[in-house]
Amino acid sequence: MTLFKAVYGRDPPSIFKAQTFPSKVEAVNLLPEERDGVLEELRANICKAQSRMKQQVDKKRRDVNFEVANWVYLKAQPYRLKSLAKRRNEKFAPRFYGPFQVVDKVGTVAYKLQLPESSRIHPVFHVSKLKKAIPPETQVQSLPMELFVEWEL
């Protein structure tokens, strides 16, 4: 159901080219042509506006894909996640929780995470709420030996 039909209880009038019947009055013959010109201009304006909106959205859009078994952090800022971490003050709570493992890809931009059993939130999240967890380095770089030389005063 469209919004127009919900408000007015009927479908909107068609905007396709209407059949024209010749008339003796010249103004009546010009009306369908003028209406078709206005409709073409409106379609062109809508296409131009859509391309501008897409261009603005694509400035910040990022193409992120996660594989199953990847580890990700969960951005849960708009939610009060007392089920994931117990905090005395929510203001100083971390912005990202986790890392959690990706269990399944749901659709093209949503992922199912393996959350703790005690969490009371739905396990499927949009890709904008996820951040890839970088695994820690397994080798710790030690300090060079030159820094351990004792200096005499």
61-70: per-residue pLDDT in tens?
A: 888 889 999 9
Dihedral angle of Cα 52, 56, 61, 63, to the nearest 10 degrees: 30
Q: Tell which residue, 68, 64, 132, has the closest CA to residue 106.
A: 68
Query: Using 50, 70 and 90 to split pLDDT, how confident is the model at 148?
Result: very low
The ranges assigned to domains in the chain are 3-60, 71-132
In degrees rounded to 5, what are phi and psi of residue 31?
Answer: -60, -50
pLDDT at 47: 96
Residue 59 has pLDDT above 60, yes or no: yes
Q: Encode pLDDT of 80-114 as tens digits.
A: 555 555 666 767 767 888 889 999 999 999 999 99
Number of H helices, E strands in the chain: 2, 5
